[in-house]
Structure 1
Amino acid sequence: MSATTPDQPEPENPANRETVRITVREQETVRLPSQRSGPGRGAHPGRPVRRARRAPLPVAVAVATLWAALISYLPVAVVLGMAQFAEDAGSPPGAARLGLAGWLLGHGVPLDTPTGPIGLAPLALAALAAWRVSRAGVHVSRAIGARHRGTPVQALSVAGAVGLAYGVIGLLAAVILNTGNVSASPLRAGLTLAAFGAAAALVGALRTTGALRLVARRMPGVLRDGLRTGVVAAFLVFGAGAGAAGLAVALGGGDASEMLGAYRTGVTGQAGITLVCVAYAPNAAVWSAAYLLGPGFAVGTDTVVRTTEVSIGALPAVPLLAGLPEGPLGGAGAALLAVPVVAGMAAGWLLARRMLRADRSARWRAVLGAALLSGPVAGLVLGAGALVSGGSLGGGRMAEIGPVAWQVVVMSAVVVAVGAVIGAAGTRAFTGP
């Protein structure tokens, strides 16, 4: 193969600027376009460089927020519609309105029903909605050109705009819902969804703009490590609660099957009821975590479920409640109380290993200070989970369900701090210089 060039340069032809001519045996065989790798390379003098157009903030916010609301609403409408149509008591408008009720409830908006107020939010739906709104914050940040080069002010502006739009959607959803038997306060729905949307969008905007990394760098090292360790410990406790709850429901699987079969709604209706229980599975995980920590939880007014005491009355036929303990745990069962301590020790171990990798001579004061700080941080996270996991299921004795938030905060702060200090100190002593 050989490339030939003419003896005299030909006049420059715009049509040939972007090609490379390759010949084999003096015959042209292939024509390859030259590649442009960026505005600086491959660009020709005198030709303007095209830049990506930025979308106006209102347009980007409207499109991203509407899409996030739609994606989180459709599964609710489908699941509740399945349960409604199984009883031959539904219509498409009724299913859509029922879906709005469930969607608002998932965001923490209480509903007024003929049987009483309902305020027990399904946390699985809340997590889905938070994820989609967080992605809306990501998309809006990209659309306005703030990706990896934004500031905290830009992240806050994106979060505020998305929160405002989400609040308007919540207000309109409550107005539409109030045309039926179930209703919600439009003002409360608007304010609740505005706060929900702003908080979720802020998470996505901070990560996309790079502002989160900037804030973390400016934060004192002990505070940064303590925050990270506390969040890790809190999620380890939540994970332990989820495992305990799943095991309890599995052991009570026979009772759960009998409750499900008693509805006699056919396969479609039973599938809908099962999916509703799945939506409340994170609530059960939080309640189980409170059970492991010691404060326990309530399943009705004047009831309590703890490792040392179980006092419950008649319960609704909900398969998820089949895993409730029948009585206090014995001596062997009391060992479950050590699970949160072990979670704190694991978080402390990870903290010390991370600090020793960054600095082999990490000071004891820094290690123990971060470990102690992780306790209150974990307490706040677990207390927030306890707060949003409770609520009411109508009037009467089911008006109080879930753990007491302040009790969870206090117990988890102490337990996690003790465990984290033990884990961090042991790791620092045996692996440090």
Structure 2
Amino acid sequence: MPLWLQGALEFIQCAFFSAVLVVVPLIAVWFADGFAERSLDSVFRMCGQVWLLIHGVPLELNLVAPGSPAVVTGAMTLIPLGLTLIPFFLAWRSGRRIARASYADQLWQGIVGALGAYLLVGLITGFAVATEEVGVNLGAAALIPLIPAGLGVITGARREAGSWGRLIGVDFAEWIATTSQHSRWAGSYVWSVIRAGVLGYVMAFGLAAVGLTVSLAIHWLEISNIYQQLQPGPIGGAVLTIAQLGVLPNLALWSLAWISGGGITLGVGSTLGPLETAVGPLPAVPVLGALPAGDLGPSWVYLLVPVLAGILAGWWFLREGENHFEDWLSIRLKVRWASLALSTVLLGLFIGAVAGLLSTLGSWLASGSLGIGRLTELGPNLWTTALMLTGEVGLGVVIGYLVAPFLERDPVLED
């Protein structure tokens, strides 16, 4: 079949399977009388609204306040990133299938067909599920789902192609060979700095996720008590657990903001961090029982976790052997310690800045609003977290880069 048609059919399957994973648990709750006040039609509309939400589409709420004729308006923008991974990986699988069926110079046809089909699915869904209580912007419903789906299909196609060069039909090695030696050295240095910054951020995120897991294990009794107080029943409890699993990546990013010292916002006027804590009333969500409370010991200890990630990034950069900026400085500054000190401090600043920029993206994705009440501000304190991570990872890079030769037993250093 034509490549554009194959791409369209692949993404229609993606939309169908991701929708099934939303519809089945919510319909099960309806059959268990969990939505006794709703008709089956309204539950299907709610399923479509949830499908749009996991793709990042904001929902416009217009709800009547209990015991009052006033209408409360707001936008629900908190994206459950764990559930967003479902359409992403379905699109990733489709991208690999499209790449197998096409040559590199034809791949765009399948991708355009796939994204065009997904745009129509989002547009139709946004039109079909809008109600008086929940409104949907049709432009957002059509375009925003293309972001996770597009990233999935492109990375999947790249995985199958084996390189970005094959994916877009450009031989990067041949192009780099035409540049000057100084340009190649500068490019190698910048590329190594970017990869070290990504490594530092990913390591900090991984350590924060481990800390979140430990906190969940320690506070398991409090979480169980909240489950018992809610009494959701077997099906309701299963759906509640799925929803909480869907926001686990958000909580891991919140944990990263917490250990960095940037802190997180849990509603208007509430801030939680190792250096400052001022939290108001919170909803009865079991996973929130794992929030750190009480005496946590010396607060500054938690700030060392991103520094450790920076140390690993600095060590990796030394092993990469692409510090051409230090080579350039050593030629112009005859004093060895001066060139080493200046290049290492700037290296920490550059790699820390990359980690800080990635932090702004992660914090932004993990933030949002539930649209009503105090919970219109949820998530990491974006700029504070970015600045703290920049400094902490940068400090770790300096330490790691200077200590790494001793760990590597550099023969030049020993001589």
Q: TM-score, normalised by structure 1?
A: 0.77
* Residue 285 (structure 1) shift: 0.4
**Which residue of 1 is the match for residue 46 of structure 2?**
98
Which residue does the alignment assign to 1:118?
76
1:95-129 Cα shifts (integer Å, max 9, x gaps): 43322222211111111335443211101011222
Q: 2:302 aligns with which of 330, 336, 339?
A: 336
Q: In the alignment, which residue of structure 1 is the partner of 2:315?
A: 349
Q: In structure 2, do the counterparts of structure 1 residues 420 and 108 end up closer, same or farther at CA, with 3 Å as the change threshold?
A: same
Bigger CA drift: 182-191 or 362-371?
362-371
What is the aligned counterpart of 1:290 among 242, 257, 260?
257
Are residues 1:139 and 2:116 paired? no
Letter in 2 for 1:337: L
Contact 2:45 2:130 in 1 (8 A): no
Alignment-mate amino acid for residue 376 of structure 1 = A
1:166-188 CA-partner distances (Å, limit 9, x unpaired): 22221111112115743321111
Separation in 1, partners of 2:172, 2:390: 23
How far 1:209 moved relative to its partner? Answer: 3.1
* Structure (1/2) with the larger helix percentage: 2
207, 214, 217: which one pairs with 1:250?
217
Aligned residues: 368
CA drift at 1:385 = 1.1
Q: Deviations over 1:15-34 (max 9, x none)?
A: xxxxxxxxxxxxxxxxxxxx
The answer to whether the Cα contact below 8 Å between 1:118 and 1:391 also exists between their aligned partners in 2 is: yes
Matched residue type, 1:125: L
Distance (Å, rounded) in 2 between the aligned partners of 1:160 and 1:349: 42
CA separation of 1:346 and 1:215: change in aligned 2, threshold 3 A: farther
Q: Is the 8 A contact 2:199 2:313 kept in 1?
A: yes
1:205 aligns with 2:157: yes
Distance 1:398 1:176 in 2: 28
CA contact (8 A) 1:84 1:269 kept: no
Identical columns (%):
30
In structure 2, the residue matched to 1:400 is 377
Among 178, 189, 214, the alignment partner of 2:130 is 178
CA deviation profile, 1:270-326 (whole Å, cap 9, x unmatched): 111111111111111000100011111101011100111111111110011111123
Is the CA contact 1:136–1:201 (under 8 Å) kept in the aligned structure 2? yes
* Amino acid in structure 1 at the alignment position of 2:54: G
Q: Which residue of the partner structure matches residue 69 of structure 2?
A: none
- Large movers: runs of 4+ above 6 Å: none
Query: Which of 146, 168, 173 lines up with 1:194 in the alignment?
Result: 146
Q: Do the aligned residues in 1 keep the contact of 2:9 with 2:114 (CA within 8 Å)?
A: no
CA RMSD of aligned residues (A): 2.8
- Which amino acid counterpart does residue 423 of structure 1 have in structure 2? G
Q: Structure 1 residue aligned with 2:351, among 374, 378, 391? A: 374
Greater RCO between the two (CA within 8 Å, min separation 6)?
2
Alignment correspondent of 1:265: 232
In 1, distance between residues paired with 2:122 and 2:251? Answer: 26
Match of 1:47 in 2: none
* Letter aligned with residue 100 of structure 1: G
Structure with higher Rg: it is 1
Rounded to whole Å, the distance in 2 between the matches of 1:423 and 1:325 is 30
2:117 alignment partner in structure 1: 165
| SS of equivalent residue, structure 1 residue 113 | strand
- 1:107 maps to 2:55: yes
Say if 1:328 and 1:302 are closer, same or farther in 2 by CA, change over 3 A: farther
Q: Which amino acid aligns with 1:379?
A: G
Supply the AA of the counterpart residue of 2:81: L
SS at match of 2:197: helix
Q: Whole-Å Cα distance in 2 between the matches of residues 387 and 349 of structure 1?
A: 29
Query: Does the alignment pair 1:410 with 2:387?
Result: yes
Does the residue aligned with 1:117 lie in a helix, a strand or coil? strand
Matched, 1:325 2:325: no
Q: Residues 383-404 of structure 1: CA distance to partner in whole angstroms, max 9, x if unpaired? A: 2111011111131211110013
Flag the 1:85–1:411 CA change in 2: closer, same or farther, 3 A. farther
Q: Whole-Å Cα distance in 1 between the matches of residues 216 and 102 of structure 2?
A: 47
Residue type at the aligned position of 1:203: T
> Deviation of residue 130 (structure 1)?
1.6
Q: Give structure 2 stretches of 5+ with no counterpart.
A: 64-73, 177-183, 329-342
Gap change, CA 1:419 and 1:173, over 3 Å in 2: same
Q: How big is the shift at 1:91?
A: 5.9
1:77 CA drift (Å): 2.0
